[in-house]
């Protein structure tokens, strides 16, 4: 099986800036394993995730996600690839406030045929598939048809994780999803997220400035401030 | 796809703003629809009022004026036709029939028309429809009266009821011909024309009412009772206008010329259709101005809608970033906003139509009563339907503006919108 991720001599520089925001010489993440990306604010963590998700293209170097050479593909192909293969979790406000909890969870299958079909291959309906994910992420059934605003921040983040896991994406990307949670919620969230990614076979790239979270992951990558010099990946 | 559902849910989430915006679009469209409907119905109503009459003859006056007071009961005659001239033109061999009209009195705001029974035989409206009676028959006696449908209904008259005619045309005239009451002998079917609002009496009745009057005032101490008047010669001295039917249409123009050059007294003869055209030309200017204003209001509505969407974009960066993360292309974001704009257009059109029909339904009773114009609840005219289709297309198109801005925004934000 292809690696979840492989990067070679990557550099990214935001237009109009003096220095590279981000440089990574070499990085490889096997399918289904997890990577913790750590670095202080401004070190380019979100920039990296945008590159992995195919929203940005590298200034130099090569990114391959699954078997796709993302850095060489058109925007349309990259967007389609993201819809089909990547589950994304933001720091906060992940959910569309005008859809119910369960409709939010089903959304990836509405925007991607592939994830729609995959969801239906493991459950008899999209609703059942969403129910499975919500159950895995410990969201009480009473909340499934609520408005998003009825949920606590911790619950919202778990719903976002449930959504990211809909339709069995090969890669889940999370951009500091715990920074708005209190400590108990962080542990709880980390347990279910990493546990379910493993159970469902999705690779996980997780970004945080909080070094204590490293223990949940297979690999770790540290981005230095103003990351001109770059440490490699360790395992 | 499910973009329509998303767009609708997103709009519903902002429903206060969305409904106000929709209201603005709907209101602007209903103005256009209503102005156009009133225009169409006014024309139809005027065109339907008289048919089968080849010429209208009156004292020398403007042709429009003659048409308005003789047929539409609008305005007043300045000159009459003497009975001799009338008798003379009736004798002309080219003339098939004549209907003399004598105007100037009223009953509780409804105009009284002195005429002959020929009126009920020859007056035609719409597509050559003749008058028919819903009850009773044409007048026979001097003091008989035949009511238009609306008069009978509004004033609740039945056959056999008596009524008194007021002198002059005011709604509340103090001078009544109350010594000579008339008896209702017939009620006409509704026609949707000014006939419905007319009170018809024999020419002799008009004369009888005025035998003891001079120069518009009642002669004091010189009263003639209804029965005494009946015995007198009640041939009128003059009539206000005459509807003329020719034996052959071909003779209309030469007879018209003859009347216009009539030597014994100055007369005017008009062809109703031709004069109606003059009226349209006159009204057309005002109509076009109204339509132009309505169009501008519709455009203003569209601009307002785009402004509302544009103003809301910044707050929706997060929404766009979520959609992008889920795989939406920037093109989808652009499409989503065009869809939203288009939905405003479609929903605005539907709401505008409903509003328009509501307004017409409410106003039609009053308009019918006040102006005698029958407003119809109908689909817009084919031309206007095309315009409306264009409007919906335009509503989608103007979505390009916020769509383009959101497109740029979502490209530069990527997945890291902060709001
Ligand atoms: N949209 C943007 N346009 C220009 N420069 C940006 C943009 N986003 C981030 N940057 C630059 O990249 C640097 C790294 O930002 P980011 O990747 O968000 O860091 P982190 O997520 O680690 O806090 C920032 O210091 C900023 O200068
Ligand atoms: Mg960040």
Note whether B353 and B28 are within 8 A (CB). no
Query: How confident is residue B414, by pLDDT bands cut at 50, 70 and 90?
Result: confident
* Ligand 1 centre distance from Cα of residue A14 (Å): 8
pLDDT tens-digit series, residues A138-184 = 899 999 999 998 999 989 999 999 999 999 999 999 999 998 888 88
pLDDT tens-digit series, residues B282-315 = 888 988 999 999 999 999 999 999 999 999 998 8
pLDDT score of B65 more than 50:
yes
Q: Which whole number is the average pLDDT over B260-284? A: 90
pLDDT score of B172 more than 60:
no
Q: Atom of ligand 1 at shortest distance to CA of A209?
A: 22
**Which among B65, B64, B88, B95 is positioned nearest to B77, based on CA atoms?**
B65
Query: According to the model, what pLDDT value does residue A227 have?
Result: 45
Angle at A128 between CA A126 and CA A131, to 5 degrees: 110
Query: How confident is residue B169, by pLDDT bands cut at 50, 70 and 90?
Result: low
Distance CA B169, CA B185 (A): 23
Q: For residue B219, what are the contacts with CB-CB under 8 A and spacing of at least 6?
A: B212, B213
SS (H, E, C) B134-149: EEECCCCCCCEEEECH
* Ligand 1 centre distance from Cα of residue A45 (Å): 8
Distance CA A160, CA A174 (A): 10
Beta partners for A211?
none
Cross-chain residue pair A50–B13, CB shorter than 8 Å: no
Interface test with B, best of A12, A74, A107 (most B CBs within 10 A): A107
Question: What global pTM score does this model have?
Answer: 0.76
Distance CA A156, CA A148 (A): 7
Note whether B183 and B143 are within 8 A (CB). yes
Distance CA B384, CA B285 (A): 19
Q: Which whole number is the average pLDDT over B366-393? A: 87
**Which among A221, A227, A189, A167 is positioned nearest to A35, based on CA atoms?**
A221
pLDDT score of B222 more than 80:
no
Distance CA B295, CA B28 (A): 8
A3 touches B at CB < 8 Å: no
Interface test with B, best of A50, A119, A162 (most B CBs within 10 A): A50
Provide the pairing of β-strand A34-38 with A219-222.
Answer: parallel
Provide the pairing of β-strand B182-188 with B144-147.
Answer: parallel
Query: How confident is residue A188, by pLDDT bands cut at 50, 70 and 90?
Result: confident
Distance CA B189, CA B196 (A): 8
Q: Which whole number is the average pLDDT over B68-96? A: 90
Judging contacts by C-beta atoms under 8 Å, the chain B residues touching residue A88 are 325-326, 415
Cβ < 6 A, ligand 1 pocket: A 14, 21, 39, 41-47; B 412, 416
pLDDT score of B351 more than 50:
yes
For residue A199, the number of C-alpha atoms closer than 13 Å in the C-beta half-sphere is 12
pLDDT score of A230 more than 70:
no
A97 touches B at CB < 8 Å: yes
Cross-chain residue pair A111–B326, CB shorter than 8 Å: yes
Cross-chain residue pair B322–A55, CB shorter than 8 Å: no
Query: According to the model, what pLDDT value does residue B234 have?
Result: 84
Q: Which whole number is the average pLDDT over B183-189? A: 95
DSSP tag of B117: T
Distances (CA, A) of B150 to A136, B157, B197, B221: 76, 10, 6, 37
Residue of B nearest to A75 (CA): B329
Mutual angle of helices B382-398 and B272-313, in 10-degree steps: 20
pLDDT score of B155 more than 60:
yes
Residue closest via CA to ligand 1's atom 4 equals A14
Q: Which whole number is the average pLDDT over B256-265? A: 91
Residue closest via CA to ligand 1's atom 25 equals A42
Judging contacts by C-beta atoms under 8 Å, the chain B residues touching residue A165 are none
Query: According to the model, what pLDDT value does residue A234 have?
Result: 42
Distances (CA, A) of B42 to B130, B131, B180, B240: 21, 21, 37, 25
3-state helix, strand, coil in chain A (%, to 5): 40, 20, 35
pLDDT score of B330 more than 60:
yes
* Ligand 2 centre distance from Cα of residue B415 (Å): 10
Query: According to the model, what pLDDT value does residue B417 have?
Result: 59
Query: According to the model, what pLDDT value does residue B366 have?
Result: 84
Q: For residue B317, what are the contacts with CB-CB under 8 A and spacing of at least 6?
A: B409, B410, B413, B417, B418, B419
Cross-chain residue pair B13–A75, CB shorter than 8 Å: no
* Ligand 1 centre distance from Cα of residue A165 (Å): 27
Provide the pairing of β-strand B166-167 with B144-147.
Answer: unpaired
Q: Which whole number is the average pLDDT over A119-135? A: 92
Which two tokens mark B205? 């009745």
Distance CA B313, CA B19 (A): 17
For tokens 């001109």, name the residue: A228
Cross-chain residue pair A96–B1, CB shorter than 8 Å: no
pLDDT score of A229 more than 50:
no
Query: According to the model, what pLDDT value does residue A173 have?
Result: 94
Q: DSSP characters for B239-288?
A: ESEEEEEESSGGGHHHHHHHHHT-SSS-EEEE-HHHHHHHHHHHHHHHHH
Judging contacts by C-beta atoms under 8 Å, the chain B residues touching residue A110 are 1-2
For residue B232, the number of C-alpha atoms closer than 13 Å in the C-beta half-sphere is 18
For tokens 């429809």, name the residue: B129
Query: How confident is residue B179, by pLDDT bands cut at 50, 70 and 90?
Result: confident
Query: According to the model, what pLDDT value does residue B282 have?
Result: 86
Cross-chain residue pair B326–A88, CB shorter than 8 Å: yes
Q: What is the dihedral of CA A64, A65, A67, A73, to 10 degrees?
A: -60
The CATH code for residues A5-222 is 3.40.50.300
Q: Which whole number is the average pLDDT over B98-111? A: 91
Judging contacts by C-beta atoms under 8 Å, the chain A residues touching residue B412 are none
Cross-chain residue pair A94–B415, CB shorter than 8 Å: no
Nearest by CB to residue A99, choosing from B1, B9, B325, is B9
* Ligand 2 centre distance from Cα of residue A181 (Å): 16
Q: Where are the domains of chain A?
A: 5-222
**Which among B197, B152, B200, B243 is positioned nearest to B374, based on CA atoms?**
B197
pLDDT score of A24 more than 60:
yes
Residue A151 — left, alpha, or beta (φ > 0 → left; ψ -120 to 50 → alpha)?
beta
Beta partners for A88?
A173
Report which secondary-structure segment, H or E, holds A89: strand A86-89
Cross-chain residue pair A83–B322, CB shorter than 8 Å: no
Measured in whole angstroms, how far is the alpha carbon of residue B208 from the centre of its chain?
A: 35
Beta partners for B112?
B105, B199
Query: According to the model, what pLDDT value does residue A70 have?
Result: 86
Measured in whole angstroms, how far is the alpha carbon of residue A107 from the centre of its chain?
A: 16
pLDDT tens-digit series, residues B112-133 = 999 999 999 999 988 888 999 9
* Ligand 2 centre distance from Cα of residue A179 (Å): 11
Q: What is the dihedral of CA B27, B28, B30, B32, to 10 degrees?
A: 160
pLDDT score of B216 more than 70:
no
pLDDT score of B199 more than 80:
yes
Measure in Å the smallest separation between the Cα of A219 and chain B Cα atoms: 24
DSSP tag of A9: E
Distance CA A129, CA B376 (A): 55
Measure in Å the smallest separation between the Cα of B29 and chain A Cα atoms: 29
Residue percentage of chain B with pLDDT more than 90: 56
Q: Atom of ligand 1 at shortest distance to CA of A45?
A: 22
Residue closest via CA to ligand 1's atom 10 equals A14
Distance CA A150, CA B71 (A): 71
Cross-chain residue pair B324–A55, CB shorter than 8 Å: yes
Q: Decide: residue B43, CB within 10 A, 0-12 exposed, 13-18 middle, 19+ buried.
A: middle
Residues 147-186 of A with CB under 8 A from B: 175
Q: Where are the domains of chain B?
A: 3-46+283-413, 55-270
pLDDT tens-digit series, residues B28-56 = 999 999 999 998 888 888 888 888 899 99
pLDDT score of A233 more than 50:
no
Note whether B352 and B294 are within 8 A (CB). no
Query: How confident is residue B193, by pLDDT bands cut at 50, 70 and 90?
Result: confident
Measure in Å the smallest separation between the Cα of A209 and chain B Cα atoms: 16
pLDDT tens-digit series, residues B133-147 = 999 999 999 999 999
pLDDT tens-digit series, residues B6-32 = 888 888 989 999 999 999 999 999 999
Residue percentage of chain B with pLDDT more than 70: 95
Helices and strands (H and E) in chain A: how many? 7, 8
In the three-class reduction of DSSP (H, G, I as helix; E, B as strand; rest coil), residue B129 is classed as: strand
Note whether B347 and B330 are within 8 A (CB). no
Report which secondary-structure segment, H or E, holds B48: helix B15-49
Distance CA B284, CA A179 (A): 70
Judging contacts by C-beta atoms under 8 Å, the chain A residues touching residue B415 are 46, 49-50, 53, 55, 88, 90, 175
* Ligand 2 centre distance from Cα of residue A41 (Å): 7
Distance CA B38, CA B375 (A): 7
Query: According to the model, what pLDDT value does residue A15 have?
Result: 87
Nearest by CB to residue B327, choosing from A56, A79, A94, is A79
pLDDT tens-digit series, residues A32-69 = 999 999 998 888 899 999 999 988 999 999 999 998 89
For tokens 């929404």, name the residue: B319
For tokens 């962080």, name the residue: A186
Judging contacts by C-beta atoms under 8 Å, the chain B residues touching residue A90 are 321-322, 325, 415
Question: How confident is the prediction for chain B on average, in pLDDT?
Answer: 89
Nearest by CB to residue A107, choosing from B324, B326, B415, is B326
Nearest by CB to residue A56, choosing from B10, B319, B414, is B414
Q: Which whole number is the average pLDDT over A24-35? A: 92
Judging contacts by C-beta atoms under 8 Å, the chain A residues touching residue B329 are 75-76, 79-80
H helices present in A137-202, as ranges: 153-164, 183-200
């Amino acid at each position: 099986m292809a690696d979840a991720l492989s990067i070679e001599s990557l550099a990214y520089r935001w237009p109009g800036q003096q220095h590279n925001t981000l440089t990574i010489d070499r990085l490889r993440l096997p399918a289904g394993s997890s990577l913790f990306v750590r670095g202080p604010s401004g070190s380019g963590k979100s920039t990296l995730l945008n590159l992995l998700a195919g929203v940005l293209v590298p200034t130099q170097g090569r990114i391959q996600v699954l078997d796709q050479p993302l850095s060489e593909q058109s925007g349309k192909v990259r967007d389609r690839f993201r819809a089909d293969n990547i589950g994304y979790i933001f720091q906060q406000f992940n959910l569309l406030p005008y859809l119910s909890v369960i409709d939010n969870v089903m959304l990836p299958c509405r925007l991607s045929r592939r994830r729609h079909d995959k969801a239906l291959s493991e459950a008899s309906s999209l609703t059942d598939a969403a129910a499975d994910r919500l159950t895995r992420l410990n969201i009480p059934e009473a909340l499934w048809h609520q408005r998003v605003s009825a949920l606590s921040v911790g619950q919202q983040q778990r719903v976002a994780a449930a959504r990211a896991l809909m339709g069995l994406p090969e890669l889940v990307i999370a951009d500091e999803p715990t920074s708005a949670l209190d400590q108990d919620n962080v542990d709880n969230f980390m347990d279910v997220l990493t546990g379910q990614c493993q159970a469902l076979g999705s690779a996980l790239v997780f970004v945080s400035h909080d070094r204590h979270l490293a223990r949940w992951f297979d690999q770790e990558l540290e981005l230095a401030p103003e990351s001109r010099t770059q440490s490699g990946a360790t395992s | 796809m499910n973009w329509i559902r998303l767009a609708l849910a997103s709009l519903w989430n902002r429903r206060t703003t969305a409904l106000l915006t929709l209201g603005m679009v709907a209101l602007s469209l209903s103005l256009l629809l209503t102005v156009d409907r009133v225009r169409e119905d006014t024309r139809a109503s005027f065109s339907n009022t008289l048919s089968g009459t080849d010429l209208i003859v009156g004292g020398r006056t403007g042709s429009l004026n003659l048409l308005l007071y003789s047929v539409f009961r609008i305005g007043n005659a300045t000159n009459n036709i003497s009975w001799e001239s009338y008798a003379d033109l009736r004798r002309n061999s080219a003339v098939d029939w004549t209907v003399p009209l004598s105007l100037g009195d009223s009953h509780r705001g409804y105009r009284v028309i002195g005429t002959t029974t020929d009126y009920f035989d020859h007056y035609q409206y719409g597509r050559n429809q003749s008058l028919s009676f819903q009850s009773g028959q044409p007048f026979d006696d001097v003091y008989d009266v035949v009511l238009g449908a609306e008069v009978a209904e509004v004033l609740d008259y039945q056959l056999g009821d008596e009524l008194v005619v007021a002198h002059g045309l005011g709604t509340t005239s103090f001078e009544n011909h109350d010594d000579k009451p008339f008896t209702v002998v017939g009620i006409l079917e509704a026609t949707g024309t000014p006939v419905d609002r007319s009170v018809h009496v024999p020419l002799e009745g008009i004369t009888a009412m005025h035998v003891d009057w001079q120069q518009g005032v009642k002669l004091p101490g010189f009263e003639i009772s209804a029965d005494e008047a009946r015995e007198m010669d009640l041939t009128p001295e003059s009539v206000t206008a005459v509807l003329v039917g020719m034996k052959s249409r071909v003779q209309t123009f030469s007879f018209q010329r003859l009347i216009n050059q009539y030597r014994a007294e100055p007369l005017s003869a008009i062809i109703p259709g031709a004069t109606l055209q003059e009226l349209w030309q006159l009204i057309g200017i005002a109509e076009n101005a109204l339509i132009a204003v309505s169009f501008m209001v519709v455009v203003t509505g569209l601009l307002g809608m785009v402004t509302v969407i544009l103003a809301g974009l910044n707050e929706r960066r997060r929404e766009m970033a979520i959609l992008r993360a889920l795989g939406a292309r920037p093109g989808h974001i652009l499409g989503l906003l065009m869809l939203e704009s288009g939905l405003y257009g479609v929903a605005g059109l539907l709401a505008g139509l409903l509003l328009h029909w509501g307004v017409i339904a409410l106003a039609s009773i009053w308009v019918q009563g006040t102006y005698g114009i029958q407003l119809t609840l109908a689909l817009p005219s084919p031309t206007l339907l095309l315009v409306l289709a264009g409007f919906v297309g335009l509503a989608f198109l103007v979505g390009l503006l916020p769509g383009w801005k959101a497109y740029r925004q979502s490209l530069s934000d990527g997945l890291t919108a902060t709001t």
